[in-house]
Structure 1
């Protein structure tokens, strides 16, 4: 017979809008720019993020005395020019409408204009930008090839993920949860929390199920301009920090200002086993701007026999 878990068996710690960044340091963002001598050519846009270095790499050395980042004081570390490299490090994230002009001058007198701003919602900051004037040069062709191969790899991995999710029972359960059809799932609600912040409200529910555990998050976006989007969900053992797989479904890829969306997470009982012994798991949620929005601590007894 199923018996309710003791109250202390499930614990939740939510850190709303905490300052922990979710930058993935291992997955560098490298882009290739081919500049033109045409007078109508617009300045290339660079995406930067607070405390993250963005490196521009040129084919020729740069003239440090004539390379300028206008109005960098108070917003950037002093820009560094080192041979063929220009390094930018913002002190903080730039505002959505904030743009900073950058003029790079090469030693042959060539001036290359850029416009530095925040990354788009769906993308991260530029970590390295390779800049070429001759699109036919060996290095330019090679860099563009690497860009194409990287995009192809991402699309291939994404298609493979979609294929696996189509036949995954855990993803099917998550889809039922976000659709509101909880009665068709094996889950029993164990506990609820409501957290209010100026930019978002989070209603979090923990469920116990047969050989499964589930977390349902309802997000109300109070930001008047920016959509709320989940950047990453990490499931790890505690202690130990070993990554585990979690199935997820959401009602919307991004929650528009003033609207509400749901996120559902399904955890298999096998994820609660570490070295043959039951362990707790931590589910961390990071939103679009890299801030850690929540930490959910799950007890192994949620996935009951």
Structure 2
């Protein structure tokens, strides 16, 4: 059936107006790529880009394990349909294309601490390309850089060894002609909150004092480790504690370990009985030693 001329003209006009509008609603067709990017070795180099598009998943794969808790994705969650983080992977899918000049930063820290310790990329939208997968790698370090890093580590190790030995004590002034006085410590005989002091020793020098006690965590108790140490003179005057350390990370039930408490330079008499308290980080288990002579 042939349409009347006015009706035919109206139909053609409607079709011509509708076709461009429909075409504009279609998302652009982008070529999907897989590629590798190198992280810059110094801050003057440009940050690598990853090309993303609306409703397309892009996978950023890293050459070493990453700290999941450190992952930062700018614009999340407003600009992304979903973001997923794995041991070596970050997957992102934007809900909309980014603007022509828009760049969203992705930042993550590596677990191994090697240089660079942090990986930074920017997400952009390209008119004709989108990255399906981006392999993020660190630039191999040169032989010169590796040798310099090794020399630095060896120097640090040598310094630590010197400080920890007798010569280091003399160099630092922590050991002089006054020497070190040592004595056995009186310890309480009973158990306190599932802990028992087996024995103790006291050391006194001109610039420091050290209380060393062997602690046993009794069977059936929760693991224990000292989180804080307090020392006080008989009149209640506090003694500054420089450090508290234990020979083990924590004491399992039935296990023993040495706890060393270092103080400031002694300003009290050696005959004074100080009060030492050790407690875990939660403060729930406390060990008190009332007769500590340093």
* TM-score range relative to shorter protein: 0.3 to 0.5
Rg (Cα) greater in structure: 2
TM-score (norm 1): 0.36
Higher RCO (C-alpha under 8 Å, 6+ residues apart) = 1
